[in-house]
């Protein structure tokens, strides 16, 4: 097994891509911010199955952090990441520095309306503009045919799907299921910030959501089930539930009852760490 080829400049990436395109090969891209875990690796496996060539990008995008401290503290583990990718035989790991993505004088923002209004969009001002802008750059730089994103970040998946269609980027966005720890906690780079104690409480978020979803499927009252779930999450040690919403699976509109395919989405703070999760309800 050889370590993946690490490319740091757009010029070098373009040379590689030109060879692949000339040979008629398809390209899959997996955008990440590093600190790779099994969730990321599942996307890479899907890309390997679906495409001739696979680019994994690692870029901690300053524009999508609404809190500078969160950006500073975000885990940076490039050597470990390269080691984890080695057995998967990806073609390129693209690790651009800031100037490859945002050259001097960069003045363009990609902004997706509507779908970004609620949920994380309401609680993290500017976050989805940052995501949409960097993803547009990574799609055009990688010239990918397919891009792989996790359902773990469900609103982000919808935003990216919308922008790829709206801007005719020629990329098919493929959503992949959330990978969880054995106790149900959704894998996330941010879990690294949980203390041992907080880590034992964290799965209660998912358990409370599963219980609420079960109640909704059984025809239970939305407001009662929601209040019970929030109480359970707070009893577990979470300090704030930012949102716990039933939303339409495609448009993310708020739903009062289960009359269409729906998703239950939540964000909550545990010991200074913001965790998000979502599950399909019907
Ligand atoms: P991030 O590095 O957090 O920006 O995530 C990069 C990609 O990995 C995004 O498409 C995420 O949705 C996806 N991802 C993160 N955690 C998981 C998970 N537990 N299961 C599946 N995909 C994930």
* Residue 170 shares a structural domain with residue 47: yes
Give the pLDDT score at 2. 86
Give the pLDDT score at 257. 83
Cβ(150) – ligand 1 distance below 6 Å: yes
* Residue 172 shares a structural domain with residue 199: no
Domain presence at residue 181? no
Identify the DSSP state of 254: B
- The span from the CA of 132 to the CA of 154, in Å, is 14
Q: Are 55 and 142 in contact (CB under 8 A)?
A: yes
* Residue 160 shares a structural domain with residue 200: no
Give the pLDDT score at 274. 97
Q: Are 4 and 92 in contact (CB under 8 A)?
A: yes
* Local mean pLDDT, 10-residue blocks, the chain (282 residues): 94 98 98 98 98 98 94 94 97 98 98 97 96 98 98 98 98 98 97 96 98 96 96 97 97 91 98 97 91
Count of all residues that appear for the chain in the document: 282
Cβ(186) – ligand 1 distance below 6 Å: yes
- The span from the CA of 125 to the CA of 89, in Å, is 37
* Residue 272 shares a structural domain with residue 233: yes
**Which residues pair with residue 105 across a beta bridge?**
none
Name the residue at shortest CA distance from atom 17 of ligand 1: 39
- Of the residues 111, 143, 176, which one is the last residue of a structural domain? 176
Domain count along the chain: 2
**Angle of the 127-142 helix axis to the 10-22 helix axis, nearest 10:** 50
Cβ(278) – ligand 1 distance below 6 Å: no
What is the 219 CA–ligand 1 centroid distance (Å)?
32
What is the 61 CA–ligand 1 centroid distance (Å)?
14
Domain presence at residue 182? no
User: What is this structure's pTM?
Assistant: 0.97
Cβ(42) – ligand 1 distance below 6 Å: yes
> 193 an active-site residue?
no
* Residue 162 shares a structural domain with residue 55: yes
Task: List C-alpha distances in Å: 205 to 33, 50, 119, 182, 192.
Answer: 24, 33, 16, 14, 17
Mutate which of 30, 31, 39 for ligand 1? The one with the most ligand atoms within 8 Å of its CB, which is 39
End-to-end CA distance of the chain: 43
Looking up residue 145, the CATH number of its domain turns out to be 3.40.50.620
* Residue 163 shares a structural domain with residue 231: no
Give the pLDDT score at 165. 97
What is the 3-state composition of the chain as percent helix, strand, coil, each rounded to the nearest 5? Answer: 45, 20, 35
Cβ(47) – ligand 1 distance below 6 Å: no
- Of the residues 176, 197, 212, which one is the last residue of a structural domain? 176
Identify the domain containing residue 164 by its residue range: 5-176
Instruction: Pick the catalytic residue from 40, 123, 127, 193.
Output: 40
Give the pLDDT score at 1. 83
Our CA angle for 162, 166, 172, nearest 5°, is: 60
**Beta 27-32 vs 146-150: how paired, if at all?**
parallel
């Amino acid at each position: 097994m050889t370590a993946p080829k690490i490319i740091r400049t757009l010029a070098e990436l373009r040379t590689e891509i030109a060879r692949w395109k000339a040979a008629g090969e398809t390209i899959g891209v997996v955008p990440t911010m590093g600190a790779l875990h099994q969730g990321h690796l599942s996307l890479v496996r899907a890309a390997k199955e679906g495409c001739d060539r696979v680019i994994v990008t690692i870029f901690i995008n300053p524009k999508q952090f609404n809190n500078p401290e969160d950006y500073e503290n975000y885990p940076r583990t490039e050597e470990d990441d390269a080691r984890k990718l080695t057995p998967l035989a990806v073609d390129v790991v693209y690790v651009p520095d800031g100037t490859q993505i945002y050259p001097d004088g960069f003045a363009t923002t990609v902004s997706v309306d509507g779908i970004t209004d609620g949920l994380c969009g309401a609680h993290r001002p500017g976050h989805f503009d940052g995501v949409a802008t960097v993803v547009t750059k990574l799609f055009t730089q990688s010239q990918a045919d397919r891009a792989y994103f996790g359902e773990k970040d469900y609103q982000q998946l919808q935003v990216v799907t919308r922008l790829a269609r709206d801007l005719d980027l020629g990329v098919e966005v493929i959503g992949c299921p959330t990978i969880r720890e054995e106790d149900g906690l959704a894998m996330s780079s941010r879990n690294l910030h949980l203390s041992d104690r907080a880590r034992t409480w964290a799965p209660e978020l998912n358990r409370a959501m599963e219980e609420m979803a079960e109640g909704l499927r059984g025809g239970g009252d939305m407001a009662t089930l929601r209040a019970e779930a929030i109480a359970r999450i707070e009893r577990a040690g979470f300090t704030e539930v930012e949102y716990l919403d039933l939303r339409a699976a495609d448009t993310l509109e708020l739903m009062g009852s289960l009359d269409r395919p729906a998703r239950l989405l939540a964000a909550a703070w545990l010991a200074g760490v913001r965790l998000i999760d979502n599950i399909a309800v019907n």
